[in-house]
């Protein structure tokens, strides 16, 4: 006697649609919409086929991987703007330094005690909102 129960709606065509969607970075919800199945159907399939669940997560990461390849290629072709952009995000020595300002005037380098003294003085004078 064969398997009893409802036949799966996940066939080769549905799997191809799901994989293509995941390869393009789709969420589970977006992928099931494109494949015309329910989220429950996807999750039940993954429960019965855990290898597909792992593959799904790897496919989702491919968009980021391809973007990294583009950045790498740009850097290797001596694209200075991309190189600068990358370093500003990945290397603390190249991060943009921001001044803390008040009233559009830079604050001089203060130690903790000096800063605390200013805050206390403002509080004592009734200036509780430091954002002014």
Residue 44 lies in a domain: yes
Q: Please tell me the distance from the alpha carbon of residue 132 to that of residue 114, in angstroms, as a whole number.
A: 19
Contact in structure between 26 and 39 (CB atoms under 8 Å) = no
Residue 94 lies in a domain: no
Contact in structure between 25 and 62 (CB atoms under 8 Å) = yes
Residue 88 lies in a domain: no
Q: Please tell me the distance from the alpha carbon of residue 102 to that of residue 119, in angstroms, as a whole number.
A: 13
Task: Please write the tens of the pLDDT for every residue from 40-81.
Answer: 999 999 999 999 999 999 999 999 999 999 999 999 999 999
Residue 1 lies in a domain: no
Residue 22 lies in a domain: yes
Residue 97 lies in a domain: no
Count the helices and strands in the chain (H runs, E runs): 7, 2
Domain housing 55? 12-60
pTM for this prediction: 0.60
Task: Please write the tens of the pLDDT for every residue from 96-132.
Answer: 766 556 666 665 666 777 778 888 888 888 765 555 4
| Total count of domains within the chain | 1
């Amino acid at each position: 006697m064969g398997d009893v129960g409802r036949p799966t709606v996940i066939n080769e065509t549905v799997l191809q649609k799901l994989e293509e969607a995941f390869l393009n970075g789709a969420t589970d919800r977006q992928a099931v919409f494109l494949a015309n199945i329910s989220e429950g159907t996807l999750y039940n399939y993954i429960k019965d086929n855990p290898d597909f669940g792992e593959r799904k997560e790897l496919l989702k990461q491919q968009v980021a991987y391809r973007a990294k390849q583009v950045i790498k290629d740009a850097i290797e072709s001596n694209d200075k703007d991309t190189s600068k952009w990358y370093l500003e995000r990945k290397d603390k020595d190249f991060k943009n330094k921001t001044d803390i300002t008040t009233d559009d005037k830079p604050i001089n380098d203060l130690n903790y005690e000096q800063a605390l003294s200013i805050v206390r003085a403002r509080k004592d004078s009734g200036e509780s909102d430091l954002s002014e």
